[in-house]
């Protein structure tokens, strides 16, 4: 199954490091970062899960839950978590899906045969509270993910959901944002963007971030 932006994220029931979970029941009204790992007790994955654990306060501020996945069994996950916590000096406060039958991996197209026919690549899905897929990233097996970028995109998605703006390249929370081309009425512009704007070109209008 190939997922695209805007698709509903498939529901699933699967075992995990914290016991059986139903994805929709577990996620409830939160944003979710679902990210896959090739296997337990692998070096790159260990650092990634440690980073994710340390970012829990940042995820909590944004109403985001982290959900990892590996094709190994739940008991293996529990033992691996001990290693992660010891080597990365943190506490893993999120579940790791035990996808031994590759059910979730196939639902989310996480296995790329030209990379490996038996383990998942480093897929990332950001899923909103309406359970729609809002971001898809795929990293090769040898490259660790940039979790600062994942947080940055979540900030942008949440901002553009709540305000009629777009974000420029390399945007970070607090930077100026873009007035979309769909907004042209002068009175509406005054109403929506009371801080004013600057226009390098008629199609490129920058305004201070509305909620700052």
pLDDT digits (tens, 9 = 90+) for 100-153: 999 999 999 888 766 665 566 689 999 999 999 999 999 988 899 999 999 999
φ and ψ of 35, to 5 deg: -140, 135
> Catalytic positions, please?
45
Cβ atoms of 183 and 164 within 8 Å: the answer is: yes
Q: Each residue of 90-102: pLDDT tens digit?
A: 999 999 999 999 9
Cβ atoms of 176 and 209 within 8 Å: the answer is: yes
Which is it for strands 64-70 and 96-98: parallel, antiparallel or unpaired?
parallel
How many angstroms separate the CA atoms of 104 and 101, rounded? 8
Q: How many Cβ atoms from other residues are within 10 Å of residue 196's Cβ? A: 10
Mean pLDDT of 62-76: 96
Q: What is the pLDDT of residue 141?
A: 82
Coil, helix or strand at residue 186 = helix
How many angstroms separate the CA atoms of 5 and 152, rounded? 18
Q: What is the pLDDT of residue 173?
A: 96
Report how many helices (DSSP H) and strands (DSSP E) the chain contains, helices first. 7, 10
Length of the chain: 212
Label residues 172-181 b or e (16+ Cβ within 10 Å = b).
eeeebbbbee
pTM of the model: 0.93
CATH superfamily of 13-145: Glutaredoxin (3.40.30.10)
How many angstroms separate the CA atoms of 198 and 108, rounded? 42
CATH 3.40.30.10 segments of the chain:
13-145
Mean pLDDT across the chain: 94
Mean pLDDT of 10-19: 98
H runs (alpha helix) in the chain? 23-27, 43-54, 56-61, 74-88, 103-107, 147-162, 186-192
Q: What is the DSSP letter of 166?
A: B
H runs (alpha helix) in 55-181? 56-61, 74-88, 103-107, 147-162
């Amino acid at each position: 199954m190939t997922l695209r932006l805007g698709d509903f994220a498939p529901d699933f029931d699967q075992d995990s490091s914290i016991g059986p979970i139903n994805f929709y029941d577990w996620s409830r009204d939160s944003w979710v970062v679902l990210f896959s790992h090739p296997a337990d007790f692998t070096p790159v994955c260990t650092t990634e899960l440690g980073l994710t654990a340390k970012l829990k306060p940042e995820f909590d501020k944004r109403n985001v839950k982290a959900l990892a996945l590996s094709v190994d069994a739940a008991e293996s996950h529990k033992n691996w978590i001990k290693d992660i916590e010891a080597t990365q000096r943190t506490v893993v406060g999120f579940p790791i899906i035990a996808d031994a039958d590759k059910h979730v991996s196939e639902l989310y197209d996480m296995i790329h045969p030209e990379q490996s026919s038996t383990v998942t690549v480093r897929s990332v899905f950001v899923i909103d509270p309406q359970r729609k897929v809002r971001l898809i990233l795929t990293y090769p097996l040898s490259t660790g993910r940039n979790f600062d970028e994942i947080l940055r995109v979540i900030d942008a998605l949440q901002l553009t959901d709540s305000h009629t703006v777009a974000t420029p390249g390399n945007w970070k929370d607090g930077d100026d944002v873009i007035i979309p081309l769909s907004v042209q009425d002068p009175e509406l512009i005054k109403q929506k963007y009371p801080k004013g704007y600057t226009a390098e070109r008629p199609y490129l209008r920058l305004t201070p971030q509305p909620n700052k």
